Amino acid sequence: MFSIGDLLIYSTHGICRVDDICEKTFAGETKTYYVLFPLEKTPQNLKISIPTDNEIVVMLKMLNKEQAEDLLQSFEEPGVKWIDHPNQRFRKYSEIVRAGDRKNIVRVLKTFLRKKTEAELVGKKLYEQDKKLLNAAGNILFRELALALDVTMKDVEQKVVRTVTATPI
């Protein structure tokens, strides 16, 4: 259970602050809701209401400094197995990211970053859907790491890229 003022990671909206916890009635059913305010660039008045008992959407407590440092080190571990078929790859890797396990997200990001580097070395680019998934998942994770470590997102990205390019897939 989260409290008012807590920061959390909410699915595709990234880092959000719990602004309120209140009861709301929809379709005759009253439930307790978190009222979330996304800290990412979104429309200024965007508020998200999500039932506190929601089991579909992943909401994660923010990492502390020690957890963030451990997660950064996990970029040294192997990535996921590359799937050659683009649609199968996108489907599988999207499932991994949506599940919300940060260590598995790191494994997907590591694989994408390695493939991106390899492609760039021969004058190519990642498939557009690969690039979108890499950017979406990377932005959320890197922002969270930066906040937990009290550094800039650019610092986190640079450290990750150095680590990924220096270690095997």
Counting residues of the chain whose pLDDT is more than 90, the rounded percentage is: 81
The predicted pLDDT at position 43 comes to 66
**Dist CA 164 CA 169 (whole Å):** 8
Q: Compute the mean pLDDT over every residue in the chain, rounded to the nearest whole number.
A: 92
Question: In b/e form, how buried is each residue of 40-72, taking b as 16+ CB within 10 angstroms?
Answer: eeeeeeeebebeeeeeeebbeeebeeeebeebb
Give the architecture-level CATH label for domain 65-166: Up-down Bundle (1.20)
- Of residues 137 and 55, the one with the higher pLDDT is 137
**Rounded mean pLDDT of 139-166?**
93
**Rounded mean pLDDT of 89-106?**
94
List the domain boundaries for the chain.
7-61, 65-166
